[in-house]
Structures are given as structure tokens and as C-alpha cells.
Structure 1
Amino acid sequence: MKTYATLLVFFLTSTLFSQPNTDVFLFDLNTENATFHLSNFKNISDSGGYDNQPSFIDNATILYAGTRNGQTDIVQYNIKSGSKTWLSSTQGGEYSPLKIPNQNAVSAIRLNPDGKQRLYRYNLKNGTNAVILDTLVVGYHVWLDQNTLISSVLEADYLSLYQSDLKTHKNKKIIAHVGRSLQHIPNSKLISFNSKNANGSSEIKSLNPISGEIKTIAPTLLNMEDMCWLPDGSILMAKEDKLFKLNPKHTSEWMEVASLKSYGIKNLSRLAVSPDGKKLAIVAELNDQELAPKLENIQWIAGNWKGEAFGGQTEENWSEPSGGSMMATFKLIADGKVVFYEIEIIREVENTLVLQLKHFGNDLKGWEEKDQTIDFPLKEITENKVVFEGMTFEKTTTNEMNIYVDIRQENGSVETVKFNYKK
């Protein structure tokens, strides 16, 4: 996923993929009596990779772009049950999903393997999909009704605001140099967007889709553009690990209303609030806090893992920690035959961990000398990653992990080989 094609790569790299390991977090939100209180913190995506762009279908259902097996698809999350339903399985990647008004369908930006980017409709009843706009490279969008669309469209190296009538198939350009945040303004028929100025500043503006009138609402936070509206007409924006609020009816000054540092998240970006204003979805990154070099902190490696590498099938069986070590057996099978085996251990040594292994041929003859082992000293441990010098274990989900191994080539260069494993 990752000419027209050159501009497309620039656009996607700088927007969709600017946060490689984001998650979607959900909070209960209480704004009664002029308060702003968040509670009941939950990671609803909880997977490795890119999870982003949440939107509420209703007070109990969220859509977002989620990653599975290296593929970005549309996810529907049920708040009450905590269940997830994957709504797309195309060869392309889907982004920015939204419910289409008065239809049993959602829309999303699809980036196909050939580099073509278009806005698609996905039927929730039968799973079919079709292009909505075939002449515009839509980056972000919002629905006025089932036949009228406001979108940020890629033109050259910037985004322009367009209004599209799906009945007449007419597209009207409104203004150039806009941002990605398109929002309904509560209790009105207006749409807000971010207008980018030549000096680098940005302003939140309103668009009247009927008259075409544009008005300035307020300046954005410096260098920020992600925002959402609360039911009372206040605007929320995020910066670093903090949330700021502004009510344009009363002030033009942003006020800090919450710090989310204690939740262990950082680099807040996309925001979405439920229709009743009682749930807040936030996209952010988890803080990678370094953990103590103890086997208990890497216990998630234990299990029977299978994958593919070197043109064959691989299998690793890691034991639970016991006696100050974890032990594994590895084998590679190609063309129906074992190519080689490994015995691996991770053990506690002098307040750190070390990974050691020995190779064996398919006849169990050792590759290394009698007392020789290949050792990988520990560099760091975080919640989802164990980094040894030359080998890294990365947990992507509870039942999936990647192992990256540095392998020296005959010419002296080092190639990092990725092993993708599933339990």
C-alpha cells in the first residue's frame, strides 16, 4: 500500500501512514455542568500496525480503519459487547470509513494495489462494493445526505474542498489548500473544514453547502488539524498527550481540559464523539515504556508458533518460563523435508537476559562446534517487543508475532529477515 502515482505516494505517506503504530481508544465522556471528565479507558483496536479514523454510526457502534495480517480493512466495533466485525476484505486497503445516511452501507477510501485511490461504497447486507466517485482522488469526506458529499480531494501536492452531487454527477470545487478534518457543525446544516494559509497557520471555517458562504470560526492549535465538535457547540483538538477545548460562541482561546499522559498514550490525533456526547474515540500511540529484564515480562512468547520463511514452513515451540529460562525448538520444512533444526533458550544472567541458540542439520549433526553457541544480548524490553542484538520479537496480537533476524550474507552485508508467526 504504500505521475499520479508519485503524488499519491506523497499524499498517503504524509497523511494516512504518518502514525505507523496507532490504536483507537475509547473513553466515557462527561461534560455536564461545564465539566470535562474522561473515564473507562479502553483500547478497542488493540492490534499492531495502523488503526485509525474512527467514526460513530450511532451511540453504540464505531467504524474505524483497522489492520489485520498487514491489510487495512473496515472494522465495526460494538461498544456494548466489545465485538468486532470486519466489513471489507478487498485486495486494496480501506481508510476513513463513514456510514452513508439512510443506506445500509458505508463509504471508505480504497487504495488498490495498482496505486489507484477512489471512494467506494460497501453494502452491509450482501458485502458488495462499488466506486462512488471515479473522477476525483478523494482523501477525506463527509456526507450531507445520501446524495451529497463534501470531500478533500488530492490536487497536485495539496487538498482542495469539493462538493459532489451524486444524482447529477457534478463536482464543484469550493476552495484550495484545506485540511483533512471535515465535520458536521452541531444543530446546523453547516460543515466545518480547516483552511491552510500561506504563512503556515490554519483556521477552522464553516461552509454553507446551499449558499456556498464560507465564514471563519477560530484558529486551530498551532500545527494541529484534527478536531471534533461536542453537542454543545464546543470544539475539541488534540496536541501531544493533551486535549484542548474552545467554544467559538464565547472565546477564541484554546483551554486545556485533559492530559492523557497517565493513560500511557501519546501523539493524540483523530477524534470522534458519539451523537449523545457521552463517548469519545481518540487515535493515539502507546508509550513504549521499557520493562525490567525479567522472563515474566516476555512470557507472551510462549506457545506453538507456525509461519513461512526461506521458501518453506517454519515452526517454533516456546516453553513457559521455568528454572530461570525459556526454551524453544525450531524447524524449517521445505519440499516436504526438514532443512534444519534449532534449539533456543532465553535465560536470566546477571540481571539481564540473553538469547542463545545452536543449529542442527536434518540428521541432528550440529553446525556449531561442541561448546559454541550463537548469542544475542538483550537491548530492551517493552510491552509488545523484545529486542536482542540481532533478533527482535514483536507481538502484533495475542495470537500473532513477528521475529526479525539479522543474517549475514556472503558479501559481508547483513539482511534482516522477517518471520511472521501465528499460534
Structure 2
Amino acid sequence: MQRFCFLLCLLGTFLSYGQANTEVYLFDLDMDTKGAPLSNPKNISNNHGYDNQPSFWDDDTVLFSSTRAEQTDILRFNINQGSTSSWMTNTPTGSEYSPLRIPGKDNISAIRLDLDGLQRLYEYDIKTGESEPISDLKIGYHVWYNDHILVSTVLVADRMDLAVIDLDDGSHRIVHKNVGRSLHKIPGSDLVSFISKGSSKNQLWEIKSLDVTDDKIDTILTLVNPMEDMVWLPNGALLIPNDNRISLYNPKTGDTKDFQFFDREQVFKISRMAVNPSGTRLALVTEISPMEIVQRQVDTFNKRDLDGFVSCYTDDVLAQRFPNDTMYVGKPKMLANYERFYTNTKNAKVEVIKRIAIGNKVIDEEITMVDGRQGHQVALYTIEGGLITSMTYIFPDQETSDAEAVVQEQLDAYNARDIDAFMDTYSDHISLNNFPNQVTSKGKTDMRVRYDSFFESTPNLHCKIKNRMVIGNKVIDEEQVTVNDSVVHAVAIYEVENGKIAKVTFLR
């Protein structure tokens, strides 16, 4: 058992930078179609690591930041030249971000973060690769108003302020404090849009417009939920992403409607977006899906590809026993474990026999084979920014033959709304929890009051099991629950002791 435990403890580790694991997708955009306006998706980065901040050089060329050899350079994707890619920068002393074409030139501007921490905006000659600084300000993001005026965010303490920079006379002025990263020229106007984050934590964010000629600022839209990114269409409509969907806002009418909804396996969480000048193509950035990164770490582990395997994890990755008993923290510890493990074993494989995905979590039931010895485990992965931040392992520590039968009995009673039969499956000291270990109810009396009222007020109640894992005294159910007119998805981890359910942990 210790050998199998050690194998699972190892599932995690290295990335040399703290950036998200993202990809850039390109879509055809058709506003006149009766179907989905975005079609023909193509992953134009296809690179494990950071790929972000797309912009269009012209209708048929996309620029974006992409990681290679532990640095981030600017990549050019040519749509009409056989969908080929070519590097535009190669700066060993730093990394480039947020590429934009400079008006009136065949050069680009990009933020460069040098290894010594210096951050400035540079101009790059795309033919020679030579660069020179545009401004000495510590610029975070920028947009060209014309060939000599920039609207940019300037880093000030723990926030970004909006600045107008005149390159002809070298002047700059702050026009708004505490803004977001999304800066755009508004089509058909001389205005620039930005997101104001307000002066307090409780203040709603707003999309605003700036008139550079007189610094007049107006509100376009108040955001109910904070959003960092948006993009304008040539017709003056605004696209706003939220996780795996995009909404369209019409400033002329004030109407908002659904624009596009994506399957989470293709587009999990949208951030940056860009539209080409003629409005026929859209590029967006998405975090890779939790299931994709989890499968990648399984595949690379089985190939004994240590570098590829550890690149699936964050620097502060946490390994723990269920529910929250820490085993170790951080890449250095995990890397040492993995190197020792591979040295001491000739053959090690993990086979995923069942998988559940809910939100940013993936639960795998796995069979392990280490030098001919078989093990059984469940691994619960938490993913943020396209990388695994924690693994929680469940081992068959307490073998019992009645765990699944008891859980099924309570499910049948639940669907029948039979409160007596339902409560009879639970121990007197039943504990209900939210993952990992937040107690929401303790004891049978409190639980009965809650569920008795729930059953009475919910005539249309049914729980369907979409997936079930059984390991030792634990049963893990992926549940689809119909509650009157609503459908709720959840995962419940049941722990059975002495023939009764003693603890339930929910993931939603």
C-alpha cells in the first residue's frame, strides 16, 4: 500500500513560470448567419504553456505572445499562407507581451519584461528584429490612438491607472485611476474604451469611453459581474466573455443577448479576444480544460516524461489525503520524489477507469501498476489557470462490503421522498460537508429537519447517478438532481461506517 501511495503522491509538479496554461483559437465570424456566428475553430497556438494576447496585423494575420524555451516571444500566424507560423521576436534577456501593429508602420509594439524586472514598451522592426524603447513608463497594456498618441495602463503600486502618452512632445497625463487591462478604439468614433474598477472593492466595474481630445469620460455599461476582457465589432456592438460563453451588447439599444456558447472541453474559460478589421474572424484565448490537463499528466507519467509531467502543475502544488491531510507542498519536494520513484521502478503505469468532471475539478478512479503490483486509488484534482494546483488522494484504507448497498438504499429513499427510510441509512452523528472539510450540518436531528422540509416543498425531485466510484468504505456519486423546475449537478462522497453513512462531502 505504501508503494501505491507513493506513486500517487508523485502526481504533480514543474512549470518555470506562474502564467496560465492557455491556447489561442481562431474562428470564422459571420454576423449574418442564422446559426452560430462563430465557426471553423482552429487552435493556432497548439503549445503547452502560455499563449495569449492576440491581435490582428491585418485581416489574415494574427499576432500573439507564445512561450518557448522558458521565454515568451511574439508569434505571427499567417492564415492565407498555409496557416503557417513564424517568430517575430527572440529576446533571450526578456519576454514580450501584448503585440500591436503601429499605425502607419510595418513595425509592432510590445511590452517587454526583462530578466532584471524592468518593464517597458518597445518598438520592434519586424524585418531585422531590432528593438528600441518607446516610453520609460512602466506600461502594462496599451492601444494606439494614432501614430504618436498612446492610451495605456501605467503600473502604480497595486493598481493600474489610465494614461495618455504623447510621443511627439514626450508628455503623459493620468486620466483615470484603477482600470483594467482591456483597451480598445471604439469603431466609428474617436473614442477609446476601458474598464473602470472603481475606487472601492464593493463598487461595480464599468465599461467607459475616453475622448482623448478633452479627457471626457462617459459610462457605456455597468457590469453586474467583473469582467476583464471585451472586444468591439466593426458595427459598434460589444462582445463580452463569461467563462465559456460570449454575450453581445448593443450600446445603441442597451440590449444584451447570448452570442455564442461553447462546450467546456473545447473552450473552458475565455479571456482575451480580438476581431480582424473587416469583422470576418475572431481570435480568443481560453484556458485549457481541466480534463485536458489531467489527461496530459496521466499520459506523460505513463511515458516517464518527467519534464512534460511536472509542467502540468503549479509551483505551490499541494498533495493531500482526503479530505485535507497534507502530504507535501511545492514542486521541489515533488520533483525529488518523482526522480527517486523513476530511479527505483522499472515499470509504472496509471489507467483511468472512470472520470468525473465538475467545475474546475476532475476526479479519476485509477488502477496503478508498479513493477507488477496492482493498486487502486481515486485522485481528485483541482485546476486553476489550466494547471493542477492540488491533488487529493482517496485510498481503500477501510474495506467494507456494504458501502455501495447503503448508498443506493438512501438514493432510492431520496427519490421516493421517504424521510424515514432516507434517515435510517445515516448514523446518529452524520456530518455533512462542503469539500474539503467545511461542516454544514452535524447530527441526525438537524439533518432530518432540513430534509423533511425539503421533501415536503419539492414534489418534483429526482436524483440520477451519472457516474459512480466505489473505493473501500467510500462511494463517490456524480449526481444530476432535478429540483422542481431546476437541474443541479453535484458530486457526493459518502463514507460508510458500521453499515451507516457517517459523512458526506459535496462538490458543486
TM-score (norm 2): 0.57
Out of 114, 132, 156, the position equivalent to 2:116 is 114
* Bigger Rg, structure 1 or 2: 2
| Counterpart for residue 153 of structure 1 | 154
Greater relative contact order (Cα < 8 A, sep 6+): 2
Out of 254, 257, 278, the position equivalent to 2:256 is 254
Per-residue Cα deviation, 1:1-40 (whole angstroms, up to 9, x for no partner): xxxxxxxxxxxxxxxx886111111111111168751110
Other structure's SS at 2:290 match: coil
1:103 Cα offset (Å) = 1.3
| Counterpart for residue 277 of structure 1 | 279
Matches within 5 A, 1:16-415: 20-32=20-32, 37-80=37-80, 81-90=82-91, 91-134=93-136, 136-197=137-198, 198=200, 199-251=202-254, 253-261=255-263, 264-289=266-291, 298=299, 344-346=346-348, 354=368, 356=370
1:229 Cα offset (Å) = 0.3
Describe the shift of the 1:214–1:305 C-alpha distance in structure 2 as closer, same or farther (beyond 3 A): closer
Paired with 1:121 and 1:376, the residues of 2 have a C-alpha distance of 57
1:354 Cα offset (Å) = 3.6
1:175 Cα offset (Å) = 1.4
Describe the shift of the 1:82–1:375 C-alpha distance in structure 2 as closer, same or farther (beyond 3 A): farther
Describe the shift of the 1:355–1:169 C-alpha distance in structure 2 as closer, same or farther (beyond 3 A): farther
| Counterpart for residue 445 of structure 2 | none
Describe the shift of the 1:75–1:211 C-alpha distance in structure 2 as closer, same or farther (beyond 3 A): same
Paired with 1:189 and 1:238, the residues of 2 have a C-alpha distance of 24
Per-residue Cα deviation, 1:104-138 (whole angstroms, up to 9, x for no partner): 2111111111111111111111110111101x110
What code does the residue aligned with 2:99 have?
P
| Counterpart for residue 429 of structure 2 | none
Paired with 2:391 and 2:142, the residues of 1 have a C-alpha distance of 44
Other structure's SS at 1:45 match: coil
Other structure's SS at 1:269 match: strand
1:353 Cα offset (Å) = 5.2
Indicate if the aligned counterparts of 2:350 and 2:369 stay in contact, CA closer than 8 A.
Answer: no
What code does the residue aligned with 1:260 have?
F
Unaligned runs of 5+ in 1: 1-16, 308-339, 358-372, 391-423
Indicate if the aligned counterparts of 1:377 and 1:388 stay in contact, CA closer than 8 A.
Answer: no
Paired with 1:118 and 1:56, the residues of 2 have a C-alpha distance of 22
Describe the shift of the 1:290–1:168 C-alpha distance in structure 2 as closer, same or farther (beyond 3 A): closer
1:225 Cα offset (Å) = 2.3
Alpha-carbon RMSD: 3.5
What is the number of equivalent residue pairs in this alignment? 321
TM-score (norm 1): 0.67
Describe the shift of the 1:290–1:127 C-alpha distance in structure 2 as closer, same or farther (beyond 3 A): closer
1:304 Cα offset (Å) = 10
Per-residue Cα deviation, 1:122-180 (whole angstroms, up to 9, x for no partner): 1111110111101x110000001221111011112111111111111111221111111
Indicate if the aligned counterparts of 1:150 and 1:164 stay in contact, CA closer than 8 A.
Answer: yes
What code does the residue aligned with 1:289 have?
M
Indicate if the aligned counterparts of 1:292 and 1:381 stay in contact, CA closer than 8 A.
Answer: no
